[in-house]
Amino acid sequence: MKKWSTYMWKLIWVIGLFLLTIISYDIKYQIKVISGTTYSIVPVFWANFIILFMWGVYLSLIFIKKWTIKINLPLLICVFLPCFLFSLYVPLATFLPLSLPIGGIWFNKAISSNFIGIVAGLTFMLSIFNNLKSESE
């Protein structure tokens, strides 16, 4: 019975994947319709940030095997934090006059690829529910 349970959870995850895709599309469409009538692009940037972060959190669910909180501090500080801050750059730039000294074409390509937000969500969950054994254990 335990073997079938594993298969069922994976199938439920795939169904959730399709539902999240539909919900993400609908939210983006509704935000664009609202933004088109008010001529404001700010909700689009914030919705994009939240949706991409949630995608990362959802994708991490397939990797977490044990739901015990054990923080992986290097992953949290060295991967999650920079990715989270960089993914916040575009929404915050709509309110604040932000200019980063690192700028340039490569930074714009990295931010516009949308992977930074997904990686932020993914590493957030994986850094909190770290089920990997360290070298000292």
- Amino acid 126: pLDDT: 95
Q: How far apart are the first and last CA of the chain?
A: 31
Which residue, chain included where needed, has tokens 């909700």? Answer: 43
Q: How far apart are CA 121 and CA 26, in angstroms?
A: 20
Q: How far apart are CA 38 and CA 13, in angstroms?
A: 37
Taking all residues of the chain, what is their mean pLDDT, rounded to a whole number? 85
pTM for the whole thing?
Answer: 0.82
- Please list the ranges in the chain whose pLDDT falls under 50: 134-137
Count other Cβ atoms within 10 Å, centred on residue 113.
10
- Amino acid 135: pLDDT: 47
- Amino acid 103: pLDDT: 56
Q: How far apart are CA 124 and CA 117, in angstroms?
A: 11
Q: How far apart are CA 4 and CA 7, in angstroms?
A: 5
Check: CB of residue 80 under 8 Å from CB of residue 129. no
